[in-house]
Structure 1
Amino acid sequence: MNRVRLIIFNAALGPLDYKVPKGMKVEYGSVVVAPLGPRQIIGIVWEEERLPANPVPEAKLRPIIEALPVPPLGRELRRLIEWTADYYCASLASVARMVLSSGGAMRGPTTMTEYRLSGSEPERMTPQRAVAMDALQNEQATIRELAEMASVSDAVLRGLVNQGVLEPVEVNIDRPYPKARADHDQPKLSDDQQQVADRLTDAVKARQFAPFLLDGVTGSGKTETYFEPVAAALRDNRQVLVLLPEIALTEAFLRRFENRFGAAPIVWHSSLKSTERRRAWRAIASGEAQVVVGARSALFLPYANLGLIVVDEAHEISFKQDEGVRYNARDVAVMRARFEKFPIILASATPALESLQMAESGIYERLELPSRFGGATMPTISTIDLTQHPPEKGRWLAPELVEALQDRLEKGEQSLLFLNRRGYAPLTLCRNCGYRFECPNCSAWLVEHRFTRRLACHHCGHETAQPDKCPDCGEPDCLVACGPGVERIADEVAEIMPEARVAVATSDTLNSPEKAAEFVAQAEAKAIDVIVGTQLVTKGFHFPDLTLVGVVDADLGLEGGDLRAAERTYQQVAQVAGRAGRGSKPGEVFIQTRHTDAPVIAALADGDRDAFYEAETDARRHAGAPPFGRWAAIIVSSEDEAEAKEAARAIGGTRPNIQDVMILGPAPAPLSLLRGRYRYRLLINARRSAQVQDIIRSWLGALDFPRGVRVSVDIDPYSFV
């Protein structure tokens, strides 16, 4: 190859042609450094015939600077990048960037310097040094990473280095990982589990594309069951990827994995240190990494020899990315398995309607685990009609639920209260003048967090201290918290049962794998009596002594403009109900609601999943909604409200008139101001036969927008705000 076409990581430019210097060997998929003006950029060598042509005379081509010492991206991974870009209306460069997600990994084997506390004391102790030294006990990382952990400046830590308080440690970044052993501790499976495990193991050995829907009730032992095909892949020297929806679930999973295989898997998520990310990336690309457990971004890593993907809790909406490339990791994982010809397992107790429909049509093979492992029974479920049995004034828990909580406390059993709302209260207002605390960057209220005495926006992260008086009228002691969040429910439990040990479990309190592990250890040691949590606690946790679950407000998820509200509510409540009675003691679930006759609530109370899915399927079919039709969204935003509105009108005014395609909008988004940008939305509803992506590309490609306007396309949207 003496000339090549590169995908380069510059959003404003398409593929560019370069010359290959004599003596340099590159191939399709090679990662190279090339000049762009006075700068150097990273690019990927791509097949010329698969990219837009922009012929440049040979004499004008600039030479590639170097080929980086990493394995070329394989043909199948390049096809996956193309498919993802085409399906989700994204650029090839933006998808390819997710593959090369560790800049440091692009260079060859190396060591680097990290720092840790030496045990010495500084000559002069300042408040910032004291904070840093307290925060960095048992930590080792780069200066920048340590500064972030301690919330101090780099200069504070460099001062501690100069005084010998922080000592340097030379780290071999590419040191090998401990090896997992397929036969380390093989469990005794039930007959149902063994039958499913054998079918999955046979599929791994066959080395062919085979999509499975592992549909098992909560507590049926899905994890132990799919560990058997993982073991089969290890015996065959193939790599395995397990996708989890939440970082907080990782620690509990890692422990179960290590018990089964004798070594922890490699972890991949956004909280990794740069050295950990580099080490993992290179091990994955070289084939040394055996099993990778990660969030959705782990899907695009350049595995050398991938032989199985497991998507655990496959119904979870957190597998859908809502910024950048708006892909659904569950669906892209199926396509990766198809391109690379290996099996994929979608595991869930409450599968997405789309997955059930794929199984119904025979595209996925459905494997069922209909009963709990070890003789445990499903919990009994009761509804509490809040219109007939309201809580006491100023409280949020109905008397029947309070009585059940007290009963479990007396028996030494654990309880879980679920409310999918972080913080103390969703709205704070002034009782004197009616002033409401709103986010300056978003059309959203500020949420009170009483633990930290802050008011916070859960959309953009804006925070402000909780004031002592109204900022509008100046009246002191007049601010009122409206509505409950988990912190307020925790306060109520502490007031009702002062002897109870209460823990709040949310993304605020369990914001790292270490904190999640500490929470699990306390719950398993029975150091917690009542857990109050958000959707974070609806999945993955197994506490044998947890026998009571209370859903504080089952109607919350049914509010707003979510077109999948009923399905999402069913999944969340069914999953959290499944935390009860997973051991030898029977479980009980109370669902507080004002709409006992709502189909989703009735289905939950009756334990009739099939009836709910059948009714929801009929409603979707009638509406032409997924999986029977297709949705796509166009989101227009700008820091200038008039500019955003005008751009949205221009898009709406040039909408194509195509049979089987209905276009709604433009209209202000439900969250019309987000992170300082004004937003408008259009929704496309089409038959499955319609080429939605081609229609959108042709439609938007004919329009020009001002520099400040962003136009995003969301194929198969899950968020409608």
Structure 2
Amino acid sequence: MFAHVKLLNKFSHTFLYHVPAELQDLQVGDIVQVPLQKRLESAVIVAQTLQQPDVSYTIRSIVRKEPMPDDVHYTKFIGWLCYYYQADRALLNSRIRHFIEQKESEVPLAPLISPDASRTLLRSLTHEQQIATNYINHALDTGVYAPTLVHGVTGSGKTEIYKHILSHALDMGKSTILLLPEVTLAVQFAHRLTQELDPTYPIFSFHSATSAKDKKTVWKRLIAGQPTIIIGVHLPILLPIGNLGLIIVDEEHEVGYQEKKHPKINSKEAAIMRAYMNSIPIVLGSATPSITSLHAVESKGWKLFTLHTRFAGSFPEIKVVPLRTKNAPRKHFWITPVLEDTIADRLAKKEQSIIFINRRGHSFFIQCTSCSYIFSCTQCSVSLTFHAPEKLICHYCGYTHQVPHQCPGCKASSATFIKKGVGTQQVVSLLQTLFPDARIARADLDTTREKKAWATTVEKMHAREIDILVGTQTITKGYDFAQVTLVGILWADLQFNFPLYNATETALAQLIQVAGRAGRHTDNSVVIVQSMAEHEIFQYIQETRFMDFYAHEIEQRMQVQYPPFIRMAQIEYKHTDSDTVHNDAQKSYDIISELIRIDYPQVTVLGPAQPPVHLIQSIHSRVLYLKGPDIKDLISLYKSVVQEQFESSLFFTPNPVR
């Protein structure tokens, strides 16, 4: 027998190897060691043949099969991922390459937590929590696919449910995958569980910030079939786990579950399919459940549990304040008198405030008032963001440029430059001017990228060593700061007009989540929502009205036929030449239109369109969108197109959410 393999670190070519007699049980998807020149490489088997190929070179033999966890469902699951995302199997398998290539001697097989750590007993559950826990534990006991949506208002104790069902799964000898939408949240959650569960519980992080040593430890536990709690963002769902008994997806509404690089696997979607294939329960939790998940409760029979009350504290008062006003001028446009006075009141009471703006940096961009020139990235179709001191940065490719002394367009002096918009750096500076004695910190991608520094900031917030925390979406979810009694949202309507069908849903969820940081342990808190324009969505910011928003939004989606009433897919075209990528997209549109006319009358094709950011690192892009009742039809159309010759690279993404 012979096998076609793709190297895990170089998956652009297929290599042919002989399968020795002792390895005749190899299957497609197995990881093997193969000789390449004078070294051994890890590879995945992508095809097998009994007939000896007619080649002019000597066919070398596979050396050995790499040990893999005994997961009978794994090959089928990876096959589904490859089909659904039209992805290369070797590309998916490459993500576990560094776990199996580490030296065995480097890693002891031991729990992450020291056995002498102190244990916090599980809390007694409320009646609402207990009902949900009993249902999920019963599904665990019986081993059935049970998609369960836990809609719990912020601070209602969803984590307490997670802790009880995690403990039950371990008692049964089952492993659990726990997904969170960001690495910072995964780190925090792992730390919390290690503090609050039995110290002997094997709790492991598994994401980009996890050391190779710890990842290898997890890999060894999986091979040994030992029950493990695995916490991460994207990687855990790709692991073979023979004793997988439960999957939890926290903050299930988050678009961060869709990867940014191709194939853009949505970890939540993959988790749902894996739970179905494994016949195990999956729990999806959120204070702002996605429209798709709520609709699945109605249309697919998902179980819904609602936690109506906070474990402690009270819901904050919501105040919507217009940014544009004809009243007397204020000290700064972005800080209204209402917000300034409320911050001062919180400082006087020794309470904490969170100020939210969905932008990092100092200002959005710099423009010359003489000729209207805007400083833009040389490699991406975006303006450069101003960062103090006197630095312009592209947040897509990292290009950095000092603010020049004169305008490149008209040669006018830099005195003609004005800064437009507002960013976290600028807000910090403004607040330091208004409140010179306040202790102010910043939380955005620039600051949270350094995990240790961000952990220090979180610790200082808990220790009340920070008075005001200024941040972007990093602070909108997952954090429980007991003394936060004020949340100020500087520009609430900023995200409402993005060219995405789910823009309003995403924006509202973000506003509710950040508002939910206030009053989690107090009865007197406030959220000040500053906005450029009035918007009907503001009536739903009080999270107790979220289901009213769902009723409003689901009606809109049904009328215009957007998900969840229709399936969507995106075909993306990338090339260094703008004309080439446009022509290839137009060629595809013509092919698809003809196929739709003949064989797929229920499918609609939209485009070609230029994405909002259509140039990144000198690579141009165009997109087509397919809409239809069956995802299989959309995949078939893509497969028909990709068989043609294109100069551009083509990528397929089902259910794009960003």
TM-score (norm 2): 0.91
Residue in 2 that maps onto 1:129: none
Distance 1:542 1:176 in 2: 27
Matching residue's letter, 1:21: P
Distance 2:376 2:188 in 1: 37
Distance 2:318 2:231 in 1: 34
Say whether the 8 Å CA contact 2:6–2:12 is kept in structure 1: no
Say whether the 8 Å CA contact 1:439–1:457 is kept in structure 2: yes
Structure 1 position 224 matched with structure 2 position 160: yes
Residue in 2 that maps onto 1:378: 315
Structure 1 position 282 matched with structure 2 position 217: no
Q: Which runs of 5+ in 1 are unaligned?
A: 112-171
Distance 2:625 2:235 in 1: 27
Residue in 2 that maps onto 1:648: 585
Say whether the 8 Å CA contact 2:32–2:43 is kept in structure 1: yes
Distance 1:61 1:194 in 2: 65
How far does residue 213 in structure 1 lie from its aligned partner after superposition? 0.6
How far does residue 216 in structure 1 lie from its aligned partner after superposition? 0.4
Matching residue's letter, 2:33: V
Q: 192-201 or 313-322: which moved more?
A: 192-201
Matching residue's letter, 1:717: P
Distance 1:509 1:439 in 2: 22
Residue in 2 that maps onto 1:492: 430
Say whether the 8 Å CA contact 2:6–2:13 is kept in structure 1: no
SS of equivalent to 2:269: helix
Structure 1 position 694 matched with structure 2 position 636: yes
RMSD: 2.7
How far does residue 182 in structure 1 lie from its aligned partner after superposition? 13
Residue in 2 that maps onto 1:417: 355
Say whether the 8 Å CA contact 2:438–2:467 is kept in structure 1: yes
Distance 2:254 2:489 in 1: 19
Residue in 1 that maps onto 2:395: 458
Say whether the 8 Å CA contact 1:26–1:67 is kept in structure 2: no
* 66, 72, 75: which one aligns with 2:72: 75
Distance 2:631 2:583 in 1: 32
Distance 1:608 1:651 in 2: 44
Distance 2:61 2:118 in 1: 44
Structure 1 position 704 matched with structure 2 position 642: no
Distance 2:4 2:577 in 1: 38
Query: Aligned runs of 1:178-197 on 2, under 5 Å?
Result: 178=113, 185-197=121-133
**CA distance change for structure 1 residues 182 and 69 in 2, over 3 Å: closer, same or farther?**
farther
Residue in 2 that maps onto 1:557: 495
SS of equivalent to 2:261: coil
How far does residue 415 in structure 1 lie from its aligned partner after superposition? 1.0
Residue in 2 that maps onto 1:327: 265
Matching residue's letter, 1:651: S
Query: Aligned runs of 1:592-603 on 2, under 5 Å?
Result: 592-596=530-534, 598-603=535-540
SS of equivalent to 1:558: coil
Distance 1:25 1:177 in 2: 38
Distance 1:367 1:276 in 2: 35
Matching residue's letter, 2:625: L
How far does residue 348 in structure 1 lie from its aligned partner after superposition? 0.5
Distance 1:389 1:217 in 2: 37
Residue in 2 that maps onto 1:663: 605
Matching residue's letter, 2:197: F
Distance 1:183 1:364 in 2: 35
Distance 1:673 1:502 in 2: 36
Matching residue's letter, 2:418: V
Distance 1:544 1:486 in 2: 23
Measured against aligned partners, the alpha-carbon deviations of 1:341-361 in whole angstroms (never above 9, x if no partner) come to: 211111101011111011112
Say whether the 8 Å CA contact 2:46–2:89 is kept in structure 1: no
SS of equivalent to 2:610: strand
How far does residue 284 in structure 1 lie from its aligned partner after superposition? 3.6
Matching residue's letter, 2:655: D
Query: Aligned runs of 1:442-457 on 2, under 5 Å?
Result: 442-450=380-388, 453-457=390-394
Distance 1:389 1:547 in 2: 29
* 215, 218, 234: which one aligns with 2:151: 215
Say whether the 8 Å CA contact 2:354–2:488 is kept in structure 1: yes
Residue in 2 that maps onto 1:681: 623
How far does residue 512 in structure 1 lie from its aligned partner after superposition? 3.5
Query: Aligned runs of 1:227-238 on 2, under 5 Å?
Result: 227-238=163-174
Distance 1:689 1:279 in 2: 38
How far does residue 240 in structure 1 lie from its aligned partner after superposition? 1.3
Measured against aligned partners, the alpha-carbon deviations of 1:383-436 in whole angstroms (never above 9, x if no partner) come to: 112334777264202111111111111111111111111111010123344332
Q: 174-183 or 30-39: which moved more?
A: 174-183
How far does residue 226 in structure 1 lie from its aligned partner after superposition? 1.3
Distance 1:47 1:591 in 2: 57
How far does residue 92 in structure 1 lie from its aligned partner after superposition? 2.2
Say whether the 8 Å CA contact 2:2–2:51 is kept in structure 1: no
**CA distance change for structure 1 residues 87 and 17 in 2, over 3 Å: closer, same or farther?**
same
Q: 269-278 or 73-82: which moved more?
A: 269-278
Distance 1:82 1:396 in 2: 51
How far does residue 26 in structure 1 lie from its aligned partner after superposition? 4.6
SS of equivalent to 2:314: coil
Matching residue's letter, 2:402: A
Distance 1:339 1:103 in 2: 27
Distance 1:107 1:500 in 2: 48
Q: 602-611 or 287-296: which moved more?
A: 602-611
Fraction of identical pairs, as percent: 28
SS of equivalent to 2:73: helix
Q: 18-27 or 419-428: which moved more?
A: 18-27
Matching residue's letter, 1:699: V
Distance 1:104 1:306 in 2: 19
**CA distance change for structure 1 residues 606 and 546 in 2, over 3 Å: closer, same or farther?**
closer
Residue in 2 that maps onto 1:19: 18
Residue in 2 that maps onto 1:635: 572
How far does residue 454 in structure 1 lie from its aligned partner after superposition? 2.7
**CA distance change for structure 1 residues 197 and 400 in 2, over 3 Å: closer, same or farther?**
same
Residue in 2 that maps onto 1:65: 62
Q: 262-271 or 80-89: which moved more?
A: 262-271
Measured against aligned partners, the alpha-carbon deviations of 1:225-279 in whole angstroms (never above 9, x if no partner) come to: 1110100011112111111111222343233202221447211111334334333
Distance 2:475 2:94 in 1: 32
SS of equivalent to 1:620: helix
How far does residue 688 in structure 1 lie from its aligned partner after superposition? 3.8
Matching residue's letter, 1:65: I
Say whether the 8 Å CA contact 1:4–1:46 is kept in structure 2: yes
Structure 1 position 202 matched with structure 2 position 138: yes
Measured against aligned partners, the alpha-carbon deviations of 1:320-356 in whole angstroms (never above 9, x if no partner) come to: 0131211110010011111222111111010111110
Distance 2:50 2:618 in 1: 38
Matching residue's letter, 2:283: I
Residue in 2 that maps onto 1:143: none
Structure 1 position 256 matched with structure 2 position 198: no
SS of equivalent to 2:449: coil
SS of equivalent to 2:495: helix
Say whether the 8 Å CA contact 1:185–1:259 is kept in structure 2: no
Say whether the 8 Å CA contact 2:156–2:311 is kept in structure 1: yes
Residue in 2 that maps onto 1:105: 100
How far does residue 526 in structure 1 lie from its aligned partner after superposition? 0.8
Say whether the 8 Å CA contact 1:620–1:626 is kept in structure 2: yes
Residue in 1 that maps onto 2:90: 93
Residue in 2 that maps onto 1:622: 559
Distance 1:607 1:403 in 2: 27
* 275, 282, 285: which one aligns with 1:347: 285
Distance 1:672 1:684 in 2: 19
How far does residue 47 in structure 1 lie from its aligned partner after superposition? 7.7
Say whether the 8 Å CA contact 1:416–1:546 is kept in structure 2: yes
**CA distance change for structure 1 residues 86 and 54 in 2, over 3 Å: closer, same or farther?**
farther
Residue in 2 that maps onto 1:360: 298
Distance 1:426 1:621 in 2: 36
Say whether the 8 Å CA contact 1:320–1:327 is kept in structure 2: yes
How far does residue 283 in structure 1 lie from its aligned partner after superposition? 3.2
